[in-house]
Amino acid sequence: MTTRTDTSPSPLIESRDDLLSVFAGGEKPIERWRIGTEHEKFVYRTTDHRAPSWDEPGGIRDLLLGLTEFGWQPVEEGGKVIALTGADGTISLEPAGQFELSGAPLANLHETCAEAARHLKQCKAVGDRLGLGFLGLGMWPDKRRDELPIMPKGRYRIMLDHMPRVGTLGLDMMLRTCTIQVNLDYSSEADMAKKFRVGLALQPVATALFANSPLTEGKPNGYKSFRSHIWEDTDPRRTGMLPFVFEDGFGYERYCDYALEVPMYFVYRDGRYIDCAGESFRDFLGGKLPQMPGEKPRLSDFIDHLSTAFPEVRLKSFLEMRGADGGRWGRICALPALWVGLLYDEAALDAAWDLCRHWSIEEREQLRHDVPRLALETRVPGGGTMKELAGRVLEIAAAGLTARGRLNPAGDNEGGFLDPLREVVASGVTPADRMLQHYHGAWGGDVRHVYEELSF
């Protein structure tokens, strides 16, 4: 989740145009399009597989401080280090200590994969000294909620208190899941709308290919991506497939209306988070927020508020693709490769839209509902399986990456980063399927083997 690293003064919102400027300000010519990759991982004690707290010796705080030897700069909240900033972006903490790199905006996937490799190498170097290991999965396979620590970030306490009021699985989302995401640019409002539609319609393809959360508290949970299922019962007013995105005339105005209907969580003032959970941002615009009577929002408040909506694709000043479970190194590179291939080449974007443009709202919703449980076996609109659809999507993405022509020094284009996904389609076996095979086979039902076999 978003970590505030800039506390400089922000202008007051004077009009609706100020809100829309956040989206319009993201427009960039194609030569300035970049790739921002985010990936989370679980941190555990190598001695007993326990999730470390922030303040214990050799815990999350010491992991953050240890990384400063690589040039990272600490970010504090309430006198406690809760993030790092550096040339490779921002390192931040999810609510239970899941460790996230929000990578820098980079020009190509070769740079993206090198960034991920640097980060993981640094984490392992410090982790080895502290007795910490790292897992790339979509959900803790063995931990109960009450076994997990809470990080000292003010926004998380507000969210943890509010989640049980609006859904049954929101605490699991916060405490027990990890994801890989990619942030991508657009050139215009029309380009944003087209990319949003393709990204949203085909997000279940990513969910299926990256499905990696089939175990809960040491046992199969009946899903391939339980992380994805969790979002179905987290908070319906801020999650989902956003049917309005597919309506004629969709653009910045309509997304702004949606964002204003999303209930608030907080307002950040003078180094602290004020609990405004459930309140209306429209009331805030009118100076009628009960917690801050007479005060009107700043632009930074709206940007914060945008980060508290959690649809499958999210718009800020860029588009976020949010459907994939966490995974290991090759998958960290593969997720941006999938979406860059589909969305950063016009012919590929058109071909991807042709695959899904005729689906009805009901068909899109059914696909989103079925994929967490069935993954590649899901039936798709128009007939066939997700495995077949995923194969066609990968062909389009590969063509898009070839057309981009971004080569490394050896002359390779970016298409090789799709190889882990090609292997999933060719074998019909997702990471979740493979984990279940091990669980029922060589592991003998003992989930502790996950730490030996699936750590970074």
- What pLDDT digit, counting tens, does each position of 43-83 carry? 999 999 999 999 999 999 999 999 999 999 999 999 999 99
pLDDT for 8 equals 72
CA distances from 445 to 7, 138, 356, 431 (A): 49, 19, 40, 17
The answer, yes or no, to whether residue 391 has pLDDT greater than 90, is yes
Contact 149, 93 (CB under 8 A): no
Q: Write down the residue that tokens 């209907």 correspond to.
A: 261
Contact 327, 179 (CB under 8 A): no
Q: Average pLDDT of 361-375?
A: 98
**Residues whose CB falls within 8 Å of the CB of residue 27, separated by 6 or more in sequence, listed in order:** 186, 187, 188, 189, 192
pLDDT for 63 equals 98
**Residues whose CB falls within 8 Å of the CB of residue 47, separated by 6 or more in sequence, listed in order:** 131
| Residue 7 banded pLDDT, cuts 50, 70, 90 | low
> Which amino acid, residue 380?
V
CA 43/CA 78 separation, integer angstroms: 23
The tokens for 67 are 């990384």
| Residue 221 banded pLDDT, cuts 50, 70, 90 | very high
**Collapsed DSSP state (helix, strand, coil) of residue 277:** coil
**Residues whose CB falls within 8 Å of the CB of residue 282, separated by 6 or more in sequence, listed in order:** 260
Nearest 5°: the CA angle 330, 420, 86 is 20
Domain 16-453 CATH assignment equals 3.30.590.20: yes
End-to-end CA distance of the chain: 22
pLDDT for 9 equals 78
For the stretch 81-122, pLDDT in tens is 999 999 999 999 999 999 999 999 999 999 999 999 999 999
